[in-house]
Protein backbone atom coordinates (compact mmCIF):
# COMPACT_ATOMS: atom_id res chain seq x y z
CA UNK A 1 0.00 0.00 0.00
CA UNK A 2 1.21 3.49 -0.86
CA UNK A 3 -0.54 6.57 0.59
CA UNK A 4 -0.30 10.28 -0.21
CA UNK A 5 -2.04 12.57 2.30
CA UNK A 6 -2.87 16.27 2.51
CA UNK A 7 -4.70 18.37 5.10
CA UNK A 8 -5.47 22.07 5.35
CA UNK A 9 -7.60 24.41 7.43
CA UNK A 10 -10.12 26.47 5.45
CA UNK A 11 -12.30 29.06 7.20
CA UNK A 12 -12.08 27.27 10.57
CA UNK A 13 -12.78 23.81 9.14
CA UNK A 14 -10.05 21.15 8.89
CA UNK A 15 -10.17 19.21 5.62
CA UNK A 16 -8.01 16.26 4.69
CA UNK A 17 -7.67 13.40 2.31
CA UNK A 18 -5.63 10.39 1.25
CA UNK A 19 -4.98 8.85 -2.12
CA UNK A 20 -4.20 5.15 -1.69
CA UNK A 21 -2.66 2.63 -4.07
CA UNK A 22 -3.50 -0.85 -2.83
CA UNK A 23 -1.77 -3.99 -4.05
CA UNK A 24 -2.61 -7.55 -3.04
CA UNK A 25 -0.82 -10.67 -4.17
CA UNK A 26 -2.22 -14.16 -3.88
CA UNK A 27 -1.32 -16.06 -7.05
CA UNK A 28 -1.63 -12.96 -9.23
CA UNK A 29 -1.30 -9.32 -8.25
CA UNK A 30 -4.45 -7.24 -7.86
CA UNK A 31 -4.45 -3.46 -7.51
CA UNK A 32 -6.87 -0.65 -6.74
CA UNK A 33 -6.78 3.11 -6.25
CA UNK A 34 -9.04 4.84 -3.74
CA UNK A 35 -9.42 8.02 -1.70
CA UNK A 36 -10.43 8.95 1.83
CA UNK A 37 -11.96 12.37 2.59
CA UNK A 38 -12.47 13.85 6.04
CA UNK A 39 -13.62 17.03 7.74
CA UNK A 40 -13.36 18.21 11.36
CA UNK A 41 -15.00 21.30 12.86
CA UNK A 42 -14.14 22.65 16.31
CA UNK A 43 -16.66 24.41 18.56
CA UNK A 44 -16.77 25.99 22.03
CA UNK A 45 -13.21 27.42 22.11
CA UNK A 46 -11.83 24.24 20.47
CA UNK A 47 -13.16 22.03 23.29
CA UNK A 48 -15.72 20.18 21.15
CA UNK A 49 -14.76 18.58 17.83
CA UNK A 50 -17.12 16.97 15.33
CA UNK A 51 -15.84 14.97 12.38
CA UNK A 52 -16.84 12.78 9.48
CA UNK A 53 -14.80 10.63 7.10
CA UNK A 54 -15.71 8.77 3.93
CA UNK A 55 -13.19 6.05 3.13
CA UNK A 56 -12.21 3.72 0.28
CA UNK A 57 -13.95 5.54 -2.57
CA UNK A 58 -12.45 4.25 -5.78
CA UNK A 59 -11.83 1.40 -8.15
CA UNK A 60 -12.63 -2.24 -7.66
CA UNK A 61 -9.88 -4.71 -6.89
CA UNK A 62 -9.70 -7.48 -9.49
CA UNK A 63 -8.54 -11.05 -8.83
CA UNK A 64 -8.42 -13.10 -12.03
CA UNK A 65 -11.84 -12.53 -13.61
CA UNK A 66 -13.63 -11.58 -10.38
CA UNK A 67 -13.86 -7.95 -9.26
CA UNK A 68 -14.67 -6.90 -5.71
CA UNK A 69 -15.54 -3.54 -4.23
CA UNK A 70 -13.33 -2.20 -1.49
CA UNK A 71 -15.17 -1.83 1.85
CA UNK A 72 -16.44 1.75 1.48
CA UNK A 73 -17.97 3.45 4.49
CA UNK A 74 -18.61 6.54 6.57
CA UNK A 75 -17.43 7.20 10.12
CA UNK A 76 -18.71 9.92 12.42
CA UNK A 77 -17.01 11.03 15.58
CA UNK A 78 -16.71 13.68 18.25
CA UNK A 79 -14.26 14.71 20.94
CA UNK A 80 -14.49 16.88 24.05
CA UNK A 81 -11.62 18.33 26.08
CA UNK A 82 -11.67 20.10 29.43
CA UNK A 83 -9.19 20.51 32.27
CA UNK A 84 -10.17 17.18 33.91
CA UNK A 85 -10.38 14.73 31.01
CA UNK A 86 -9.92 14.37 27.28
CA UNK A 87 -12.74 12.27 25.82
CA UNK A 88 -12.99 11.02 22.23
CA UNK A 89 -15.61 8.82 20.64
CA UNK A 90 -15.84 7.36 17.15
CA UNK A 91 -19.02 5.86 15.75
CA UNK A 92 -18.50 3.31 13.01
CA UNK A 93 -20.89 3.30 10.11
| pLDDT tens figures, 14-58 | 999 999 999 888 778 889 999 999 999 999 888 889 999 999 999
**This prediction's pTM:** 0.79
62-71 long-range contacts, CB within 8 A, separation 24+: 62/30, 62/32, 63/24, 63/26, 63/28, 63/30, 64/28, 70/22, 70/32, 70/34
Please tell me the predicted confidence (pLDDT) of residue 29.
84
User: Rounded to 10 degrees, what is the CA torsion of 3, 68, 59, 19?
Assistant: -10
Q: How confident is the model at residue 8 (pLDDT cuts 50, 70, 90)?
A: very high
Amino acid sequence: MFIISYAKEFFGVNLGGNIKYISSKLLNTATAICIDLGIIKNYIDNKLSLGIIVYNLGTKIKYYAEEENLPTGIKLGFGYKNFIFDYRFVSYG
